[in-house]
Amino acid sequence: MSSLIKSVALTLSLALAPCAYTSTACAETAAPAIAKPDMKQVEMHLKQHQTYPATRAELLASCKNLMEFSDGEKAWFAAHLPDGTYKSSAEVMKALRK
């Protein structure tokens, strides 16, 4: 009985923590660490490369393929931009600062 309990415990621990044993596989699938981007760089991008009016979905789609921002910075932008339609870069920046 004792060995059965140990086997079940080992099986559960391996199933619940696969990253502990295969760190390279999990590192590839882990979510990026959220990092606040340089807001001056965000504002410059929004002024120079975005057309308005723009919805949140449109802003996120254009942000998705930008190489000048990391995945973590893109995640921060997505997490902090409320739903809505924005008429200018100033409106986007105001929403991000709230």
C-alpha pair distances (Å), 89 with each of 8, 11, 32, 51, 69: 56, 53, 26, 9, 17
- Same domain as 90, residue 72: yes
Please check whether residues 84 and 44 belong to one and the same domain.
Answer: yes
Q: Are residues 91 and 43 in the same domain?
A: yes
Domains: count for the chain: 2
Asked if 1 and 18 sit in the same domain, the reply is yes
Same-domain pairing of 91 and 44: yes
Beta bridge partners of 86: 54
Full residue range of the structural domain in which residue 69 is found? 39-97
Based on the domain organization, do 26 and 71 belong to the same domain? no
CB 73 within 8 A of CB 36: yes
pLDDT, tens digit, for every residue of 17-65? 555 544 444 555 567 799 999 999 999 999 999 999 999 999 999 888 8
45 and 91 together in one domain: yes
pLDDT tens digits along 41-51: 999 999 999 99
3-state secondary structure of 59: helix
Residue 85 φ/ψ, nearest 5 degrees: -115, 130
